[in-house]
Structure 1
């Protein structure tokens, strides 16, 4: 399986203004905006990896083997297309009636209907199935504890900009992972 992000998020779960308030910076101070914006994205990515869910809506493509069930990162908002490449290299887009999606904030699964039959597939093509979908939470749906963990990470990285310091702080504060684990998807 191979998951690839196609588009960037249109909105982050934490705004620049929220991050600046958390860092106790004045809203009219703009010389650090680029750094803070980067920290917001990196902290969101850290939280997404820890929770195995997407915290900002964007489009993805999943390349997979010919299975009947496909696990997608939750929450999956919609399936844009399901395409199968046959042995001749021809692509066939599945009709919406050939699959169904189950998704909530904890898991997302695309299932092929029992009557669907794959075309003859090439042995060389390890990933003949391509699924394009939108996944992620809108900012208002991101839990407060997750937003707080993201803000804590931003603050930690803002204060500790170098890879090594005189203080020993290789890892983010324990509270960050504890907060993120409260909404983590466990498989």
Structure 2
């Protein structure tokens, strides 16, 4: 998920919701027994993680700490959708930790691409050379879009039916084409 100027996000408070229910995944897989439930739940978590990594999305709401090197990086946050900016922290030139007063900046959180900009008449503070700016945000969908869910279900179906990386037998076959997965995510990719 990292972009130029940004370090890999750190989860402060994980989600307490799921992107997909076990029942939805089992319906997609046409599984009507409980023997594979724990395996399917792992596939749900893995598919969600994969979508988050390749698209730059935060699928289920969680609190995340982001780090960048300059206030200019705040013009485009590396994850979305962002629901709230909790805090923007920095280290001043005197090595004293500071937290920006929310009245000095404006959080633009519409759509998937969030940004934080300085308000007119205000200035970003000076930071200690080599230090990073920390931004805590709450990010994730209120309701996961159908296309994102379907992309995850495609992955789950492929992984459920193809549990190993190599298929052996008398017939050679390739794993299903991933173009459907990418098509479903085309409107939700921040890493494009």
State the distance in 2 between where 1:117 and 1:104 align. Answer: 23
Deviating more after overlay: 69-78 vs 159-168: 159-168
Deviation at 1:160, TM superposition (A): 0.8
Deviation at 1:76, TM superposition (A): 0.5
| SS at structure 1 position matched to 2:13 | coil
State the distance in 2 between where 1:5 and 1:89 align. Answer: 25
| SS at structure 2 position matched to 1:88 | coil
Residue number in structure 2 paired with 1:62: 66
Q: What stretches of structure 1 move > 4 A for 4+ residues in a row?
A: none
- CA separation of 1:172 and 1:39: change in aligned 2, threshold 3 A: farther
Do structure 1's residue 88 and structure 2's residue 90 form an aligned pair? no
Structure 1 alignment gaps of length 5 or more: none
Superposed, 1:115-134 pairs within 5 Å as 115-119=122-126, 121-125=127-131, 127=132, 129-134=133-138
Residue number in structure 2 paired with 1:24: 30
Deviation at 1:133, TM superposition (A): 0.6
Deviation at 1:173, TM superposition (A): 3.1
| SS at structure 2 position matched to 1:81 | strand
| SS at structure 2 position matched to 1:6 | strand
| SS at structure 2 position matched to 1:56 | coil
Residue number in structure 1 paired with 2:157: 155
Counterpart selection for 1:177 from 167, 179, 182: 182
Instruction: State the Cα deviation string for residues 19-40 of structure 1 (Å, max 9, x = none).
Output: 11111122xx333222111111
| SS at structure 1 position matched to 2:107 | strand
Q: How many residues align?
A: 180
TM-score (norm 2): 0.83
State the distance in 2 between where 1:54 and 1:44 align. Answer: 9
TM-score (norm 1): 0.84
Deviation at 1:170, TM superposition (A): 5.7
- CA separation of 1:104 and 1:172: change in aligned 2, threshold 3 A: farther
Counterpart selection for 1:76 from 72, 77, 82: 82
Residue number in structure 1 paired with 2:3: none
Residue number in structure 2 paired with 1:45: 49
Residue number in structure 2 paired with 1:143: 145
- CA separation of 1:117 and 1:111: change in aligned 2, threshold 3 A: closer
Residue number in structure 2 paired with 1:102: 108
